[in-house]
Amino acid sequence: MSGSRPWGKIILFSSIALFVISWLIKAGVLSSTGGVTDISVRDAFFVTLAAFLTLAILSFLYKDNPYYKFAEHLFVGVSAAYWMCVGFWSTFVGNFIPRVSSTLSGFFGVPFKEFNVFYLIPLILGVMLLMRLSSKTGWIARWPLAFIVGTTAGLNLIRYLRSDFVNQVSNTFVPLLVEWKGIGPFFSGFSLSASGQFTLSLTNWVIFVGTFCGLVYFFFSKEHKGFYGGASRLGIWVLMVTFGASFGYTVMGRVSLLVGRLTFLFQDWLGLIS
Amino acid sequence: MKLKILMLCCIMFLGAVSAGLAQGNIDTSSQTTTPTISPPASPGNLRAKDTPNDNGHSITLSWDLSSDDGSGNKSVLGYKIFRSTNRDSGFVERGVSPSGSKEYVDLGGASAEENDYMPNNSDYYYKLRAITADSMIFAEMAIFGPIQTTGQWYNTSRTLILLFVLLFTSLMVYFIVKARKGANLFVRKLAGIEAVDVAIGRATEMGKPILYVLGLGTAADIATIASFTILGRVAKKVAEYQTGLIVPCNDPIVMTVAQETVRASYLDAGRPEAYKENMVYFATSMQFPYVAAVNGTMLRELPATNIYMGKFYAESLLLAETGALAGSIQIAGTDEVAQIPFFVVACDYTLIGEELYAASAYLGREPVLLGSLKAQDYAKAAIIVLAIIGMIAANFHWNNFTEIFHITN
């Protein structure tokens, strides 16, 4: 460990030197278009900083290192502070103050709206939550937690019953023989040559069988043996095929994120591509 | 001579015509015709009613189409709807309904702060105008009103959901009572959950902590609530085995609930003194900084086991891949369909969707959870039966049955 310290210092100083050189070059490039201004020097600093932080995060691909740790702690600290400010100014000042106090609204420079007594309920719940900071009154904090979890679970029950239950059940109401009117002989209205008719029928079969077997897989009261075993195996195959398609689709999205980051490095920072 | 006079007259006439054409003074109306629009026939029978199954602030209008809409001279392009609080004046345009449509829902604002505030229990008057391509040519109907908006306490279109809630709750209560009476309610083995105990034992043997990630969900998400139950079970085992536990949280409320859960588990295990407040901590609310924090923890603390249970988004693969690199046993569970594939490829065990909910019942064996799991199974059986009936109904065009499941709002 002691032997690696000189190398660590050398790498650190080299990185600082590279940062400064990169900043100066970038400032020079920016100023060549509009003259040396505070803005070009500042912009060059932030572009260079963003590039170095990107490289520091990417260095995690090699292994955990001090540069990654620095970027990680900066990232975590800035984001936590940022969201605290957003929460204070958008929720507390933006929503709460204008509904309860004209004096405080004036103090924060937000227009006072109508006084609404219901806005005092979240205030009381919030104060109760803060009671957990004290060991003596900590038990009070459990009441708002119970309220939050219980209320939202109850509200979600209706929402999920509608979106995940009723709507999905109704989506399985599909004819297995498309365009068959149920009049005359069984296949009187069915034709393989009809445009899309066979494909649509096959799609509906996949929906029906896939839903049936998928539900059997998620049936926990029966051991997966015999008929249940067969159906649940088919169900897990349907699920895996779906996951495979979803995986490929999402990976393509992630590649586009990488392309975005590389574009920033090669275009905005290094200027190698236009 | 006559010929000269005739030629002169012709030249003068041609000159006058060309000069007139150049100045645009010649009336060519006799040669080309401008398209004209005759006033369309008026739409008929304007009706208005308070929109049903809502909290008020809305009126539903309907009318009979103008005879020039789609037939006749086909000049009607749409219908403009005007509203006023006074029968004689102050009509304001509320919207345009395209030709062929016979209904329009006038939805106003629900609070006084909104521009188009439409208070309940006030009188409103409507008039309808059939419009053509020429804004000056239209046909207007007689004014309808007054009509009032009111809110309803019961949404009749959601009666089906109420029935399902009652059915499901009845089943749940029945099975909970049965479980409390000591009935043996069978739940099949879940490989992922069986592995939890093994993984905790492994961590104890290795002297390394267990990392439990609750995901990015809020305390309101069902997956997070299920994850709290599993966390309680894991924390109890951890307390019994005296293994370390790390729970980085993304949401302050989730952190608070998680702290209470872990504290209660340590108390249940008879080791309240072993509980440390900093076992469960808040990292940050932002997605990728949270990932950076958890990834850093994985590589520095080198936990023997990583458990991911809850709501996950794009961070799922980043976390699971880092955990695999760190050599940890990984068990994951989420109901986010798009993220399950990443856990499947990068984790040792994955609880797919509803298995996450079942896991809490399977682990706890508490009558309340077992009862709800049994009720869920019966609900699934009901879905299968309904799907079969619905499929037959769709084949035979029994629309009355399929319409029952069509919930409008």
Q: Report helix, strand or coil for B250.
A: coil
Quote the tokens at residue B125.
């008057």
B87 contacts B125 by C-beta, under 8 angstroms? yes
Residue B312 has pLDDT above 90, yes or no: yes
| B276 phi-psi bin (left φ>0, alpha ψ -120 to 50, beta other) | beta
Task: State the pLDDT at residue B26.
Answer: 41
Structure confidence at residue A52 (pLDDT): 92
pTM, whole model, 2 decimals?
0.75
Rounded Cα gap, residues A252 and A80, in angstroms: 30
Among A158, A172, A182, the residue with its CB nearest the CB of B387 is A172
Residues of chain B contacting A224 with CB distance shorter than 8 Å: 188
Q: Which of B198, B201, B223, B202 is nearest to B213 (CA)?
A: B223
Asked whether residue B346 falls in the same domain as residue B252, the answer is: yes
User: Tell me: the pLDDT tens digits for A258-273?
Assistant: 898 899 888 888 888 7
**Predicted pLDDT at B294:** 94
Closest-approach residue (CA) in chain B for A69: B296
CB contact under 8 A, A76 and B160: no
A227 contacts chain B (CB < 8 A): no
Q: CATH no. for residue B89? A: 2.60.40.10
E strand or H helix at B22: helix B2-23
Residues B246 and B332 in one domain: yes
| Contact status of A92 with chain B (Cβ, < 8 Å) | no
Q: Say yes or no to pLDDT of B28 above 80.
A: no
Angle at B298 (CA atoms; ends B294, B299), nearest 5 degrees:
120
Here the tokens at position B191 are 């490989």
Indicate yes or no: CB of B292 within 8 angstroms of CB of A72: yes
As a whole number, mean pLDDT of residues B366-379 equals 85
How many C-beta atoms surround the C-beta of residue B291 within 10 A? 24
Q: Which residue has the higher pLDDT, B264 or A161?
A: B264
Instruction: Determine, for residues A83 and B286 on separate chains, whether the beta-carbon distance falls below 8 Å.
Output: yes
Q: How close does chain A come to B205, measured CA to CA in Å? A: 25
Q: Across the interface, do B283 and A211 touch by the CB < 8 Å criterion?
A: no
**B188, A218: Cβ pair inside 8 Å?**
no
**Which residue among B117, B147, B177 closes a domain?**
B147
Instruction: Give residue-wise pLDDT tens across range B225-283.
Output: 889 989 998 999 999 998 999 999 999 889 988 998 999 999 999 999 999 888 999 99
Q: Which two tokens stand for residue A66?
A: 């001090």
Minimal C-alpha gap between A164 and chain B (Å):
11
How many contacts does A have with B, using Cβ atoms within 8 A?
Answer: 177
Q: Is the pLDDT of residue A185 over 50?
A: no
Return all residues near B399 (Cβ < 8 A) that are at least 6 apart: B393
More confident residue, B84 or A159: B84
Cβ-contact B213, B177 below 8 angstroms? no
How far, in Å, are A237, A242, A243, A253 from residue A248 at the CA level? 17, 10, 9, 9
**Coil vs helix vs strand at B109:** strand
Read off the pLDDT of residues B380-398 as tens digits, 9 standing for 90 and up: 888 889 888 988 888 887 8
Asked if residue B246 and residue B108 are part of one domain, the reply reads: no
Any A CB within 8 A of B17 CB: no
Mean pLDDT of B205-217: 93
Sort out which chain A residues have CB atoms less than 8 A from B290's CB and list them: 76, 79
List the one residue out of B103, B132, B109, B124 whose CA is nearest residue B39: B132
ipTM of the complex: 0.77
Give dist(CA B307, CA B235) in Å, integer: 12
Angstrom distance (rounded) from CA A23 to CA A242: 48
Q: Are A246 and B341 inside 8 Å of each other by CB?
A: yes
CATH code: domain of residue B318: 3.40.50
**B296 plus B192 within the same structural domain:** yes
Using a CB-CB cut-off of 8 Å, the residues of chain A touching B161 are 158, 161-162, 166
CB contact under 8 A, A218 and B386: no
The reply to whether omega before B272 is within 30° of 0 (cis) is no
Residue B15 in domain = no
Q: Regarding beta strands B305-311 and B210-215, do their DSSP bridges make them parallel or antiparallel, or are they unpaired? A: parallel
The tokens for B243 are: 């293994």
Are B257 and A129 contacting, i.e. CB atoms less than 8 angstroms apart? no
Query: What DSSP element (H or E) covers B384?
Result: helix B367-396
DSSP class of B117: B
Amino acid letter, A217: Y
How many domains is chain B built from? 2
Q: Do B377 and A221 touch (CB under 8 A)?
A: yes
Express each pLDDT in B157-175 by its tens digit. Answer: 888 888 888 998 899 899 9
Nearest Cβ partner of B387 from A69, A153, A211? A211
Mean pLDDT for all residues in chain A = 83
Angle between helices B252-268 and A142-160 (to 10 degrees): 110
Distance in angstroms (rounded) separating the CA atoms of residues A233 and A224: 9
Average pLDDT on B79-83 reads 91
**What DSSP assignment string belongs to B33-76?**
-----PPPPPPEEEEEEEPSSS-SSEEEEEEEPPTTSSSTT---
Contact A80/B284, CB-based, under 8 Å?
Answer: yes
B166 touches chain A (CB under 8 A): no
Shared domain for B189 and B250, answered yes or no, is: yes
Residue B197, min C-alpha distance to chain A (Å): 20
Q: Does any domain span residue B352?
A: yes
Which residue segment(s) compose the domain that B315 sits in?
185-365
Residues of B in contact with A182 (CB under 8 A): 395-397
Are B43 and B65 a contacting pair, CB within 8 Å?
Answer: yes
Q: Is the pLDDT of residue B306 over 90?
A: yes
The minimum CA-CA distance between B94 and chain A, rounded to whole Å, is 26
Cβ–Cβ of A158/B288 closer than 8 Å? no
Q: Across the beta sheet with B44-50, what order do the strands follow?
A: B44-50, B58-64, B103-107
Express each pLDDT in A109-125 by its tens digit: 888 888 888 999 999 99
The residue ranges of every structural domain in chain A are: 4-63, 173-269
Higher pLDDT, B400 or A73: A73
B382 part of a folded domain? no
Position A159 scores a pLDDT of 82
Q: How far apart are CA A153 and CA B222, in angstroms?
A: 7
Within-domain flag for B152 = no
Helix axes A38-58, A66-86, angle to 10 degrees: 120
The three-state secondary structure class of B198 is: helix
* Residues in chain B within 8 Å Cβ distance of A129: 253, 256
Binning pLDDT at 50, 70 and 90, where does residue B6 land?
A: low
Looking at residue B209, what is its pLDDT? Answer: 94
User: Who contacts B75 (Cβ-Cβ below 8 Å, separation ≥6)?
Assistant: B37, B38, B40, B68, B132, B133, B137
Closest CA–CA distance from residue A31 to any residue of chain B (Å)? 33
Are B272 and B210 in the same domain? yes
Assess contact for A19 and A47: CB atoms under 8 A: no
Q: B153 CB near a chain A CB, below 8 Å?
A: no
Per the CB < 8 A criterion, the answer to whether B302 and B275 are in contact is: no
Query: Chain A neighbours among B 169-198 (CB < 8 Å)?
Result: 185-188, 190
The whole-angstrom separation of Cα B77 and Cα B69 is 7
Q: Are residues B191 and B301 in the same domain?
A: yes
User: Which of A73, A170, A255 would best serve as a mutation to test chain B binding (most B beta carbons within 10 A)?
Assistant: A170
Chain-chain contact of B284 with A83 (C-beta, under 8 angstroms): yes
Q: Identify the pLDDT of residue A30.
A: 73
pLDDT, residue B395, reads 80
**Of the candidates B380, B393, B406, which has its C-beta nearest A218's C-beta?**
B380
Domain boundary among B101, B129, B147: B147
Tell whether the model's pLDDT for residue A195 goes beyond 60. Answer: no
